[in-house]
Amino acid sequence: MTTETQGRIPLADLLVFHQLARSLTSSFDLDTILRTILEHMERTVEAELWTLLMLDEQTQELYYAIAAGGEQEALRDLRVKMGEGVAGWVVQHGETLIVPEAEDDPRLDKSRKVRSVIALPLRGRKGTHGAIEIFNPRADQMTDYTIAFLHILADHAAIAIENARDVARIQQLTITDDTTGLFNVRHLYDVLGRELERSSRNKLPVSLAFLDLDRFKQVNDAHGHLIGSELLARTGKRLQELSRAQDLCFRYGGDEFVLLMPETDAIAALAQAGKLLKELMETRFVMKNGLELRVCASIGLASAPDDGATLHAIIGAADARMYVVKSNGRGQIKGA
């Protein structure tokens, strides 16, 4: 080997690194990225179990996002506290941990017959997002080359995860109302359009409740727009709490909200809206300044296919029925 060629990375290795970088940057879908990371781990190191843990920023616990090997089902509901075990230590310290079979390390889980481990933090620009664990790798796999490649994998993975999360946040902002945190009217049109297509295709009902807060202008006039905005936000949160898991809440605009109820016919929608309205009007909203307020609302209902099969037909029917309630005393519900 000449002096000129000494220290150069072999072309085959460069191609592997190029493929790794390309595959990790070809998607902004987090699940796809995690599966890609796992596939590269499996191809690089022969072992009994490969896992990737992600950090839940709210609980500061790690969860098994993806795994390959004999124990992936058992790992699904497990949580690892920061600082505990191999992954907890790696994420807390931001350092790689390598334990060969000859060593006895207290961080190893003896109950799972862990004899050796390679663990690396997924450390990006915005912090450590999780950890890669490879349990009981073949002894001849724990080479400097393999460890170096895994570090490259972890670095690219952390960047790809951050990019995916940034894109997801941007996408969420485009469909979310700033004041209430609910979905906005743009997203309503998209989701309702898809639900109506599904309703027609599968012969399933779908219902929509158009809800308008009664005399809300009086709140703004009496207490100011800051209190009004706070009350709107608290009302939106309460609507979400009172809705079923399958239902979606939207802020239509001003003091108007929409509740979309998939696979729900007119009778079931009336029952659900009645329960929701009763509990909403019984709710006492305590503002940040200590002021206690309540809300009253008028609701109009519409269902597909009975009231039409198009987006404008359903929203128009529900809106018209809501105004009938407004004209006849408020605080009630009108269906078909």
For residue 3, the model assigns a pLDDT of 42
Using CA atoms, how far apart are residues 228 and 220, in angstroms rounded to an integer?
A: 5
Q: 114 in helix, strand or coil? A: coil
In this structure, which CATH number among 3.30.43.10, 3.40.50.300, 3.30.70.270, 1.10.10.60 belongs to the domain 185-334?
A: 3.30.70.270
Query: What does the pLDDT read at residue 125?
Result: 87
**What is the DSSP pairing of strand 285-286 with strand 206-213?**
unpaired
Calculate ∠ Cα 274-280-284, nearest 5°. Answer: 155
Is pLDDT of 6 > 60?
A: no
**pLDDT tens for residues 118-173?**
999 999 888 899 999 998 888 777 788 888 888 888 888 888 888 888 887 887 77
Hey, what CATH topology would domain 11-171 get? Beta-Lactamase (3.30.450)
286 has a pLDDT exceeding 60: yes
State pTM to two decimals.
0.61
Looking at residue 143, its pLDDT comes to 82
Domain ranges of the chain: 11-171, 185-334
Distances (CA, A) of 99 to 64, 89, 115: 21, 13, 8
Does the pLDDT at position 9 exceed 70?
no
pLDDT at 261: 97
> pLDDT value at position 2?
41
Q: What tokens does 97 get?
A: 């941990």
- Amino acid identity of 100? P
